[in-house]
Amino acid sequence: AQSVTQLDSQVPVFEEAPVELRCNYSSSVSVYLFWYVQYPNQGLQLLLKYLSGSTLVESINGFEAEFNKSQTSFHLRKPSVHISDTAEYFCAVSELGRSNDYKLSFGAGTTVTVRA
């Protein structure tokens, strides 16, 4: 079974400053990795994903994440945050369940609060 560890539960950051959210997973097999974002009182939205190929993946709103197989990490970064990036961010790994189909396992989440 997979496990996902998000090392920071709360990350306060000033507007226009960079931010990094750390995510580590445990696995001995190939994985698919995801970052989801949850704005207040909303459901989860996919931010970006790593399936294969280039280890650096980007989202349309300036976030990027790098898959590091040797360190089993998938950290999320943004060089300059906006107030609107205030949200909760979840790292997730896709794993095969008992029914031989994929399901997502999530980390506990990191709350990002952007201040002016």
Q: Which residues bind another protein (CB under 8 A)?
A: 4, 6, 9, 32, 34, 36, 41-46, 49, 51, 90, 92, 94-95, 97-99, 101-109
Cα distance between residue 54 and residue 67, in whole Å:
9
Cross-strand bridge partners of residue 68 = 73
Beta carbon of residue 93, minimum distance to another protein (angstroms, whole number): 9
Q: Give the residue with the Cβ less far from another protein, 15 or 24.
A: 24
Q: Give the residue with the Cβ less far from another protein, 13 or 106.
A: 106
Q: Give the residue with the Cβ less far from another protein, 101 or 116.
A: 101
Beta carbon of residue 79, minimum distance to another protein (angstroms, whole number): 26
Cα distance between residue 67 and residue 42, in whole Å:
27
Beta carbon of residue 45, minimum distance to another protein (angstroms, whole number): 7
Beta carbon of residue 94, minimum distance to another protein (angstroms, whole number): 3
Q: Give the residue with the Cβ less far from another protein, 73 or 110.
A: 110
